[in-house]
Amino acid sequence: MLARFAPTVPSGPSLADAARTMFEHNLDAVAISNAAGRVLGYITAVDLLKSLQHELK
């Protein structure tokens, strides 16, 4: 089921901003949008974990 409200994160902010948005809205993924609001892609919880794992190496 698709949600009517889908929070997005503007391109450019940190992964922490994406993680915060996902946590606040209990999401497994969040859309990344440009200044015009067009969706450029998605970041998933798995992407965040992979990034963290890479940072810990």
What is the predicted pLDDT for the residue at 9?
87
pTM of the full structure: 0.73
* Beta pairing, strands 8-10 & 29-33: parallel
Q: Which residues are within 8 A (CB) of 40 and not within 5 positions of it... i.e. 6 or more apart?
A: 11, 32, 33, 34
CATH code (residue 35): 3.10.580.10
Residue 1 lies in a domain: no
What is the predicted pLDDT for the residue at 11?
86
Domain membership of residue 52 as a residue range: 8-56
Please give the tally of structural domains in the chain. 1
Residue 17 lies in a domain: yes
Residue 37 lies in a domain: yes
Residue 2 lies in a domain: no
Structure token digits, residue 56: 């810990």
Residue 13 lies in a domain: yes
Integer-rounded Cα Rg, in Å, for the chain is: 12
Residue 20 lies in a domain: yes
Q: Average pLDDT by consecutive 10-residue portion of the chain (57 residues)?
A: 69 86 92 90 93 85
